[in-house]
Structure 1
Amino acid sequence: MEPAIAQAPAKIQPSSINSLTLPEGDGYLLGAGDRVKIDVFSVPEITGEYTVLPNGTLNMPLVGAVGVQNRTLKQASGAIAARYSPVLQIPVITVNLVAARPIRVAIAGEINRPGSYTVTAAASQPDGNLPTMTRLVQLAEGVTQVADLRQVQVRRLRPVGSGGDQVVTVDLWQLLQAGDLRQDLRLQDGDSILIPATATVNLDEARQLASANFATQNSRPLKITIVGQVNRPGPYTLLEGNVAQGAQLVNPNLLQVPSVTRAIQVAGGITQLADIRNIQVKRFTRSGAPQLVKLDLWKLLKAGDALQDLPLQDGDTVEIPEATSVSDREISELATASFSPERISVNVVGEVERPGAVSIQPNTPLNQAILTAGGFNQKAKKSNVSLIRVNPNGSVSKRDISIDLTRGVGENDNPALRNNDIIIVKKTGFATFLDSTSTFIGPFSGILGVLRIFGGF
């Protein structure tokens, strides 16, 4: 598929892309710094290599300066032949490009570092050819995730005497999907490139774009914000790699760029109130109009839909809303997800060896939490304990649970625990009686001790 030519951007039609034919040899416009070889038939004294001077001319023997600025090789051949007509009977002249000058091009739109760039042919291609579109995009640190690769526009100077600028539409998506190298347009000095934003984000295409060699560079840190139902909301800087960032957990199963689940992990994981079916990513474009991308991580958990784990770009805001209702089954399933907290905290109070907060894995059974706290002490009532839980709807529930340390996980007698659960281990009746008796006779035992000192008893 060939890119298309039009006189102005407003006239470019997607259906006209097939009509473009840019001749590789004759489409190049000469300028200061180009080195060319001029062959003059049967005149070896003039044949040789020449450099275009800063004023856009070639200094030729016998005839002096010949203007070639913004002329194609064919036009330059004609201009030189015209100057030699008074000198040579039948001047047959050909001009070939030996070494292209560094070119200056501009790129704007959905690119990480828009601006103007000077690119040398030797730095861009091993064979000395002109730099290409994808090479320039790489120099500008890649396209953003909202780039419309199907409508990349290149504004190009026309040769001398050909009228106004030429506008070319390039479809880089065809380069990704079909390997169409014709879409990787060779650039010329003075080209201006505009990469527009898409109207909507396609999750499938976003994942493919993130793996392209002209996407955002992997080493580029991303500054994002995550708000809502995560344990540590706020701004974060995500770095590429599969290692921990300080005390922050990083998923080893990464995309080429950080994704939504990785951002959630770095923010401490979701809370039990998170509505993972309606996560939104707010993404800003260069034009200023934000895009909203809706994600359903429940599809990722239940159906393995990896497209829901959207690659992020610099400046994204991830919003995780609060669920209106969550079933106990869903809470238990979410607790084992990779983007849930690695550890939860529960409080074991009363008659255990080490009362207080204990850190355990999600869905740890009640019996194991008691053992983590050192187990029952000598005063503990070992037949049952009380479990106090704050429910997602804000209510507080309390229930007594019979204890059998040999039982497996079960909702009635050994339930899986949630973050901030409280386990109360009571005293036995006899231990309570002894403590009460000690409290009652304590003052009298002190008086009796004093009397014994003075020999009264």
Structure 2
Amino acid sequence: MKRVKTICRQIFAASVTALVCSPVFLAKAETSVSYPTSVAALGNKTILKDKSQSSYIVGPGDVLFIEMIDIPELSGFFKVGLDGSIYLPRLRAVKVDGLTINGLVQLLVSNYKRFVKDPEMYIFIAEYRPIRIYVGGEVNRPGYYTLKGNTLGSISADGGQINRTTTLGDINPQAMTGKDISDAVQTSISVFPTVFDAIRVGQGITPYSDLSKVQVTRKRPVEEGGGRKRTQVDFLTLITDGDESQNLRLFDGDYVEVKKSNVVLREQLLNASQTNLSPQFFRVFVSGRVESPGAITLPQGSSLNKALLAASPKLLRGKVEFVRFTKGGEVDRRLFTFKPSAAVSDYRNPLLMPGDIVRVKDSIFTSSMEIIKEVSSPFVGVYSLYQLIDKAF
């Protein structure tokens, strides 16, 4: 009897060893730990390894890679349609608009339990849709803008255009594991639209922009009850101290608002002018008694006196009229005597903004000289003609 028990123990131990060392078991064990996935559902557990993707709200235009572990027939790339749905094997149309990746994993795992026992799923964003945001507040050009943020491309030096370097057609989901596809996608780009890009497409800041108070309003996902949430960042520290934590990544539907200061923030404007946050140059219009009337191109941070000197290097006299049309439909109009020594941001030497109008009026002296010139010019012409004839004969 003892010998029979010993033989049974040996047979059991050999069976367990064969099972553990079998390719199927090793593949299962390897699958459950080897994916650097953004969101993966393994059995009944959901593992979050990349919060930036797990909190991303899915919407029309996104391309998702969904892998059902060990079931390639249920795996592949799926694009979210205009109605916010994806078309999946067995499940057909599934509404995913407004869900995070985490919420989508939970939904699909629950639905696939009708067809698969203990489904193990891996999902990540293979291609991000363009995002449409609103940039408002104290920027030069408020409005809606569309920014591209795509993991299958690279953003060019000007920060606006995305050049594609990889396409979905280059990736074969049947020949690659989820980890291989994730690595191929994630190594192609790691740049997404940020607050910096939003202010930049809004054509930069004004002398009154308060970059220490930039507000971002964002949609909440469906599983959190919807609605919106809001936060405020000190964007100025990005420029002065290089604090990247204040340069938030933007998502579709975000609203970026730059608060307005009651006073001119010249120091901030000069700091920003040393970056590509705002256009390097802008144009104002100078007219009246100057040598070169018309549009004048000036560097950021220029004042009224600099514009006048650019339009008329010679000594100026007389009254100067300054006109600025504000965003609220009001007109800032000033009339003062030109003073070359006026400090920057002084009432008589304001920092200029794109579209400002400067007009140099005639003084009493110059007006008198013009009248004398007009009256005397016929006599001067006749006298010159007389001298010419007299010398000829």
TM range (shorter): 0.5 to 0.7
Question: Deviation at 1:262?
Answer: 2.4
Alignment of 1:146 onto 2:208: yes
Question: Deviation at 1:204?
Answer: 2.0
Rounded to whole Å, the distance in 1 between the matches of 2:272 and 2:332 is 17
Q: 2:144 aligns with which of 116, 134, 150?
A: 116
Structure 2 SS opposite 1:204: helix
Structure 2 SS opposite 1:117: strand
Aligned to 2:262: 199
Aligned to 2:195: 133
Aligned to 1:53: 81
Aligned to 2:55: 27
Alignment of 1:223 onto 2:284: yes
Q: 1:266 aligns with which of 303, 310, 322?
A: 310
Q: Is the CA contact (8 Å cut-off) linking 2:66 and 2:77 kept in structure 1?
A: yes
Q: What do the CA deviations read for 1:409-448 (whole angstroms, capped 9, x no partner)?
A: xxxxxxxxxxxxxxxxxxxxxxxxxxxxxxxxxxxxxxxx
Rounded to whole Å, the distance in 2 between the matches of 1:93 and 1:296 is 73
Question: Deviation at 1:100?
Answer: 0.2
Structure 2 residue runs without a partner (length 5+): 1-49, 164-188, 362-379, 381-393
Q: What letter corresponds to residue 192 of structure 1 in structure 2? A: Y
Q: Is the CA contact (8 Å cut-off) linking 1:142 and 1:217 kept in structure 2?
A: no
Shift in CA distance, 94/137, structure 1 to aligned 2, threshold 3 Å: same
Alignment of 1:286 onto 2:327: yes
Q: What do the CA deviations read for 1:221-257 (whole angstroms, capped 9, x no partner)?
A: x224589xxx5399742124xxxxxxxxxxxxxx446
Aligned to 1:170: 233
Shift in CA distance, 71/42, structure 1 to aligned 2, threshold 3 Å: same
Q: Is the CA contact (8 Å cut-off) linking 1:150 and 1:172 kept in structure 2?
A: yes
Aligned to 2:96: 68
Q: Is the CA contact (8 Å cut-off) linking 1:147 and 1:195 kept in structure 2?
A: yes
Rounded to whole Å, the distance in 1 between the matches of 2:300 and 2:317 is 30
Rounded to whole Å, the distance in 2 between the matches of 1:258 and 1:285 is 18
Shift in CA distance, 183/290, structure 1 to aligned 2, threshold 3 Å: farther
Matches within 5 A, 1:234-383: 236-240=294-298, 255-256=299-300, 258-268=302-312, 285-287=326-328, 298=341, 311-316=351-356
Q: Is the CA contact (8 Å cut-off) linking 2:290 and 2:360 kept in structure 1?
A: no
Rounded to whole Å, the distance in 2 between the matches of 1:66 and 1:311 is 56
Structure 1 SS opposite 2:212: helix
Q: What do the CA deviations read for 1:255-283 (whole angstroms, capped 9, x no partner)?
A: 446443321213425857679xxx99776
Shift in CA distance, 203/130, structure 1 to aligned 2, threshold 3 Å: closer
Q: What do the CA deviations read for 1:104-137 (whole angstroms, capped 9, x no partner)?
A: 1222232232221222224556716432222233
Rounded to whole Å, the distance in 1 between the matches of 2:140 and 2:124 is 37
Aligned to 1:42: 70
Structure 2 SS opposite 1:286: coil
Rounded to whole Å, the distance in 1 between the matches of 2:125 and 2:100 is 10
Q: Is the CA contact (8 Å cut-off) linking 1:143 and 1:216 kept in structure 2?
A: no
Moved more, 95-104 or 311-320: 311-320
Question: Deviation at 1:193?
Answer: 2.0
Alignment of 1:77 onto 2:105: yes
Question: Deviation at 1:320?
Answer: 9.3
Aligned to 2:120: 92
Q: What letter corresponds to residue 284 of structure 2 in structure 1? A: K
Q: Is the CA contact (8 Å cut-off) linking 2:284 and 2:357 kept in structure 1?
A: no
Question: Deviation at 1:168?
Answer: 2.4
Aligned to 1:190: 253
Q: What letter corresponds to residue 171 of structure 1 in structure 2? A: D
Shift in CA distance, 204/67, structure 1 to aligned 2, threshold 3 Å: same
Shift in CA distance, 87/272, structure 1 to aligned 2, threshold 3 Å: closer
- Of structures 1 and 2, the larger Rg is shown by 1
Structure 1 SS opposite 2:54: coil
Aligned to 1:418: none
Q: What letter corresponds to residue 96 of structure 2 in structure 1? A: V
Alpha-carbon RMSD: 4.0
Shift in CA distance, 39/186, structure 1 to aligned 2, threshold 3 Å: same
Q: What letter corresponds to residue 230 of structure 2 in structure 1? A: V
